[in-house]
């Protein structure tokens, strides 16, 4: 991977060395800088967001990141009725003619970001492409783990919930696989198992994968519980289908009590009942610190994309 | 009330002295300043609007007010599908981690603004919370009356329309009650009477309250007619229900002719047929001057909230 | 036409001399200026967009044009539920009280822009009014033809598709009629013929008008093919109704092969199957250059509207 970051499309594009030597230090530096001292390194540059699906959180996070670095922000929202009525490539060819410097794309189908990058004049950032990936979420997740636990090697991580259609966990699994000694516990209904291609990738990378039904049975061994939305129709349907064999994909006080003191609970938000707000006072619940980290990771990514030295 | 304004949640938080000595002078000064000379007292600060219900008027008014004072504006609209899919407190905890300085909140349930203020790191401005209140609308309403009539004591004011579910009139009644010699005529269907708690508050404050069915009978005694939207399903249903006993909640040429020359007609807009555009040429119709005042009242409020000296 | 441009409402308001001496030179100059050197001629000015119908393309184009010239941009989108719940004139009277400098209006009914201009304190730009007009699209269309072909006199132009409800072709026909020796081929279903009033205007201006069913029959004589959306319900209904007599309103490889080498194909975008992306490599397909020109034409228009010298 060259020093120049061209696009952010797929968590598999990143190396461990780039995370350790480039992204994490750049993020830490930004996070330790008072807002007033960011300077305006991206002054005169412009981010365009093109959203075929709603995403208030990712949009606001990137909008703030760009603004704090001095860039302007423009965009098209999924709410604008006709957004899907036009070929993605056409939209991007028109945007190519305008003086934008970054394209933040959320697309409703897997592969959208790669299609965009193939025709875009400017760096494309994949802000989620259907059931594919959400690489910037995964980057902020691993940054959070590094910051909270001090290490990324030898982690025992449980990914919990719908692991089939949840792009966040796909991207996170790819990044975790860069580190040695990973044990990944996959806690999902049978119908929503992690996709075969992701599992194959993990195994080739040397990670240990264990599919478990009962999060409780392994709680005391975990460093990380990564909980995802469990109140989706898909997950509820899978649970009904599996009946008695169905596991639980939610955190509760008992489970939290069983976790080691050093462990951390992450959640990409928005959350539902799978992560009860009553537990928030426990310092192991890291989801809001995780969201806060997202701002700085995205600032670092924009800075790196905007650095066009070869 | 300290010199520092911490949140704007409820019209009952304000004192007469604060209106007279702080808000009105600050607003007048801004209104007499050419736009180019506002300076940028809020430069580097940022307003975030979080709208669980649509509000183009209030949003645009605050957005302009913030912009004219040099602040940046970001936000999430009610149109973005999933806005209600997340706990209010979660949203605010995430925003707490971002460098915002003001939170403008419209919520679909009463009490939303207070819930937000309980967890927000920054001042919360209630831009309407369900059937609760809309305090900044009421502040611009009383400012308008002061400016138009020269006084707020001894006023005879008719509030007209749906007084039960109309948060605007709740907040306005609370503010009018700060002034002496208030006579308040409540002109509404039986089904949509002003709520008991608001009436009790008014009576304790010494205001005279008179429920009237026929606006015409009292028109010649009024200083102010405050008309609200009468083309709502709720009001039409109430009128059908009451049949012959139903009053009229609209202004017409005859009624306008019966008003004193010094009287004023206000409306929070948008209006329907209850305030016919054909009457606009009459200088007593003050609704557009009222809207204009709103910009300056909101500039003053942002300035006061942004002033963090103790 | 005075040197001062007051509003942009109707393509018929422009003269050939103004296009040749004012708009085209101003646009060319902007298009040849590096973005960093635009200066900020509209610094401190503000554009407000008020959209009663969605329009991502026109909104983004004007937003960028205003931003590149230093103006601020605010607005209300058609998605905001209640946008149509208020009289247009009321909305504009409220905006009159705010420090805006330009009003960009898309309205769902013909005549909206003229109604707005009648009450607006600031210049109104018609960004489409129902089935009426879309004059800034037509200005960028003729600018594109001038740039691509080097001339606007003596052109043979085919307008293709729904010519009755397509405001774009109304405005373009009015502008083309300013130039001498125009031959206009109207290629539409009988049910969707160009409106009589537009045809009368064209004939009075001296243009030759030919209604043709088969684009193929005239392809070799054309300088310009202006294709419009053919995948609308209206057009498909008309084609079903006409059965065997129905023509084709799409471009294909055969038709492209029949066009002269110097000819150009334009399309206002977004396109459907009537202009297959497989043909894009042909340099005669000018639709993306056309979109790019739009940015500079709109910058020129804003500059001219903002120039208040008499």
* pLDDT at res. A166: 84
Closest CB from C74, C89, C99 relative to B35: C99
Distance from CA of A68 to the nearest CA of B (A): 9
Interface residue ranges in chain B relative to chain A, Cβ cutoff 8 Å: 44, 46, 72, 74, 76-77, 79-83, 85-87, 89-90, 93-94, 96-99
pLDDT of residue C243: 74
Q: Read off the DSSP letter of residue A285.
A: B
Q: In three state form, how does the secondary structure of C84-111 look?
A: HHCCHHHHHHHHHCCCCCEEEEEECCCC
User: Nearest residue on chain B to C96, judged by CA atoms?
Assistant: B292
The CA distance from A141 to A148, in Å, is 10
Q: Mutate which of B60, B232, B275 to disrupt the C interface (most C C-beta within 10 Å)?
A: B60
Q: Is B149 found in the same domain as B60?
A: no
Q: Enter the tokens of residue B309.
A: 């000296």
* From A83, A86, A97, residue closest to C288, measured CB to CB: A97
In a domain, C185, yes or no: yes
Closest chain B residue to the Cα of A74, Cα to Cα: B74
Q: Which is nearest to A83 in space by CA: A120, A54, A119, A118? A: A54
Alpha-carbon dihedral sign for residues C250, C252, C258, C263: positive
Mark whether B127 and B148 lie in a shared domain. no
CA distance A48 to chain C (A): 10
C-beta atoms of C90 and B271 within 8 A: yes
Chains with 3+ CB–CB pairs under 8 A to A are B, C
The verdict on residue A254 lying in a domain is: yes
The DSSP symbol for A8 reads B
User: Hey, are the CB atoms on A94 and C269 less than 8 Å from each other?
Assistant: yes
Please check whether residue C147 is in contact with residue C266, taking contact to mean a CB–CB distance below 8 angstroms.
no
What 3-state DSSP class applies to B302? Answer: helix
Instruction: Report if residue B4 sits inside a domain.
Output: no
Residues of C in contact with A54 (CB under 8 A): none
Which residue of chain C comes nearest to A43, CA vs CA?
A: C36
Report chain A residues whose CB lies below 8 A from the CB of B83. 56
A66 and A170 housed in the same domain: no
Phi–psi pair at B224, nearest 5 degrees? -140, 135
Cβ–Cβ of A271/B72 closer than 8 Å? Answer: no
Instruction: Check residue B19 and report its DSSP letter.
Output: I
Residues A40 and A82 reside in one and the same domain = yes
Q: How many CB atoms are closer than 10 A to CB B288?
A: 16
For residue B125, is the peptide bond before it cis, meaning its omega torsion is within 30 degrees of 0? Answer: no
Locate the chain C residue with the closest alpha carbon to A90.
C270
User: Which residues contact residue A257 at a Cβ distance below 8 angstroms, ignoring those fewer than 6 apart?
Assistant: none
- Selection from B12, A97, A301, B59 nearest residue C298 by Cα: A97
A-chain CB neighbours of C271 within 8 Å are 86-87, 90
Would the CB atoms of C97 and B36 count as touching at under 8 Å?
no
Which of A64, A288, A291 is facing B74, going by the closest CB pair? A64
For B171, the token pair is: 């907040």
pLDDT tens digits, C70-99 = 999 999 987 655 656 789 999 999 999 999
Question: How far is it, in rounded angstroms, from Cα B12 to Cα A301?
Answer: 47
Look at B277 and C87 and tell me if their CB atoms are within 8 Å: yes
CA–CA gap between residue B123 and residue B308 (Å, rounded): 10
Do residue A86 and residue C60 have CB atoms under 8 angstroms apart?
A: no
Cβ neighbour number for residue A94 with a 10 Å cutoff = 22
A4 lies in some domain: no
Measure C100 CA to nearest chain B CA, in Å.
9
> Do the domain assignments include residue B51?
yes
Residue A2 lies in a domain: no
- Interface contact flag, C271 A90, Cβ < 8 Å: yes
Subunit partners of chain C (3 or more CB pairs within 8 A): A, B
For the CA atoms of chain A, what is the radius of gyration? 19
Name the residue in chain C with its Cα closest to that of B289: C97
In this predicted structure, what is the pLDDT of residue B240? 79
Report the complex ipTM: 0.93
| pLDDT tens by residue, C54-72 | 888 899 999 999 999 999 9
Residues A31 and A127 in one domain: yes
Q: What letter does residue C64 receive in the DSSP assignment?
A: H
Q: What is the pLDDT along chain B (310 residues), one digit of tens a residue?
A: 445 799 999 999 999 999 999 999 999 999 999 888 898 999 999 999 999 988 888 999 999 999 999 999 999 987 655 656 789 999 999 999 999 999 999 999 999 999 999 999 999 999 999 989 999 999 999 999 999 999 999 999 999 999 998 899 999 999 999 999 999 999 999 889 999 999 999 999 999 999 998 899 999 999 999 999 877 778 788 877 777 666 789 999 999 999 999 999 999 999 999 999 999 999 999 999 999 999 999 999 999 999 865 5
Nearest CA of chain B to the CA of A290: how many Å? 9
Candidates C80, C93, C99; nearest CB to B68 = C99
pLDDT in tens, A151-200: 999 999 999 999 998 899 999 999 999 999 999 999 999 889 999 999 99
Closest residue of C to A72, CA-based? C67
A3 in a structural domain = no
> Domain check: are C286 and C300 in the same one?
no
Please indicate, yes or no, whether residues A224 and A301 belong to a single structural domain of this protein: no
Burial track C19-35 (b if 16+ CB lie within 10 A, e otherwise): beebbbebbeebbeeee
Task: Give a yes or no: residue A6 inside a domain.
Answer: no
Residue C221's domain comprises 136-290
C3 to chain B, minimum CA–CA distance in Å? 27
Q: Nearest CA of chain C to the CA of B207: how many Å?
A: 33
Q: Are residues B301 and B278 in the same domain?
A: no
- B1 CA: distance to closest CA in chain C (Å): 31
Partner-chain residue, chosen from B54, B67, B277, that has the shortest CB–CB distance to C80: B54
Sequence-distant (6+) residues with CB within 8 A of B226 are B141, B157, B158, B159, B160, B169, B172, B265, B266, B267
Q: Which pLDDT score, from 0 to 100, does residue A1 have?
A: 44
| Nearest CA-CA distance, residue C77 and chain A, Å | 8
- Contact: C56, A83; criterion CB under 8 Å: yes
pLDDT band at C248 (very low <50, low <70, confident <90, very high): confident
Does residue C198 contact residue C174 with C-beta atoms inside 8 Å? yes
Tokens of B176: 């009018």
What CATH number does the domain containing B81 carry?
3.40.50.1370
Residue C110 is predicted with a pLDDT of 95
Is A277 within 8 Å of B90 when comparing Cβ atoms? Answer: yes
In chain C, % of residues over pLDDT 90: 79
Residues of chain A under the 50 pLDDT cut: 1-2
* Claim to verify: residue C158 and residue C62 sit in the same structural domain: no
List the single residue in A with minimal CA-CA distance to B46.
Answer: A64
Q: How many domains does chain A have?
A: 2
State the burial class of residue B154 (Cβ atoms within 10 Å of its Cβ: 0-12, 13-18, 19+).
Answer: exposed
- Regarding whether C158 and C50 lie in a shared domain, the answer is no
Return the pLDDT at B1.
45
Query: Are C164 and C108 within one domain?
Result: no
Residue C254, classified by CB atoms within 10 Å of its CB into exposed (0-12), middle (13-18) or buried (19+), is exposed
Question: Which residues of B touch chain C, with CB atoms under 8 Å apart?
Answer: 35-36, 54, 56-57, 60-61, 63-64, 67-68, 77-79, 269-271, 277, 288-289, 291-292, 295
Nearest to C56 among A44, A82, A93 (CB): A82
Do the beta carbons of residue C159 and residue C184 sit within 8 Å?
yes
- Work out whether the CA dihedral A113, A114, A120, A124 comes out positive or negative: positive
Residues of C in contact with B63 (CB under 8 A): 74
Chain C CB contacts of A84 below 8 Å = none
Q: How far apart are CA A178 and CA B253, in angstroms?
A: 77
Sign of the Cα pseudo-torsion (B52, B57, B60, B64, in order): negative
Task: Assess contact for A66 and A104: CB atoms under 8 A.
Answer: no
Q: Which of chain C's residues have a Cβ under 8 Å away from the Cβ of A83?
A: 56
How many residue contacts between A and C have a Cβ separation below 8 Å?
56
Q: Which residues of C touch B (CB under 8 A)?
A: 44, 46, 72, 74, 76-77, 79-83, 85-87, 89-90, 93-94, 96-99
Contact C295, A98 (CB under 8 A): yes
Q: What stretch of H or E contains A258?
A: helix A253-258
What pLDDT is stored for residue C81 in this prediction? 52
Q: What's the mean per-residue pLDDT of chain C?
A: 92
| Chain B residue at shortest CA distance from C93 | B288
Domain co-membership, B168 together with B48:
no
The DSSP string of A181-234 is: T-EEEEE--GGGPPPHHHHHHHHHTT-EEEE-S-HHHHGGG-SEEEE----SHH
Report CA C306 to chain centroid distance, whole Å.
21
Look at B291 and C81 and tell me if their CB atoms are within 8 Å: no
Residue C64 to chain A, least CA–CA distance (Å): 8
Cβ <8 Å between B295 and C94:
no
Chain A interface, mutation test: which of B99, B101, B118, B120, most A Cβ atoms within 10 Å?
B99
């Amino acid at each position: 991977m060259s020093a120049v970051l061209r696009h952010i499309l797929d968590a598999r594009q990143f190396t461990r060395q780039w995370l350790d030597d480039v992204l994490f230090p750049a993020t830490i530096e930004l996070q330790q800088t008072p807002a007033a001292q960011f300077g305006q390194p991206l002054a005169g540059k412009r981010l365009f967001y093109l959203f075929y699906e709603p995403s208030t959180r990712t949009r606001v996070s990137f909008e703030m990141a760009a603004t704090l670095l001095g860039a302007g922000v423009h965009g098209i929202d999924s709410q604008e009725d006709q957004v899907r009525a036009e070929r993605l490539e056409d939209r991007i060819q028109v945007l190519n003619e305008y003086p934008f410097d970054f394209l933040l794309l959320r697309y409703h189908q897997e592969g959208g970001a790669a299609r965009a990058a193939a025709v875009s004049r400017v760096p494309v950032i994949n802000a989620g492409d259907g059931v594919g990936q959400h690489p910037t979420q995964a980057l902020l997740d691993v940054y959070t783990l590094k910051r909270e636990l001090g290490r990324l090697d030898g982690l025992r991580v449980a990914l919990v919930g719908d692991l089939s259609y949840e792009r966040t966990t796909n991207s996170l699994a790819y990044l975790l696989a860069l580190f040695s000694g990973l044990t990944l516990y996959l806690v999902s209904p049978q119908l929503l198992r992690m996709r075969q291609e992701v599992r194959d990738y993990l195994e080739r990378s040397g990670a240990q994968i264990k599919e478990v039904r009962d999060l409780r049975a392994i709680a005391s061994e975990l460093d990380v519980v990564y909980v995802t939305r469990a109140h989706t129709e898909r997950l509820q349907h899978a649970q009904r289908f599996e009946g008695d064999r169905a596991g639980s994909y939610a955190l509760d006080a008992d489970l939290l009590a069983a976790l080691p003191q050093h462990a951390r609970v992450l959640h990409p938000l928005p959350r539902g009942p799978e992560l009860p707000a009553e537990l928030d006072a426990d310092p192991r619940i890291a989801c809001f610190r995780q969201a806060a980290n997202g701002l700085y990771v995205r600032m670092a990514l924009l800075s790196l994309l905007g650095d066009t030295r070869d």
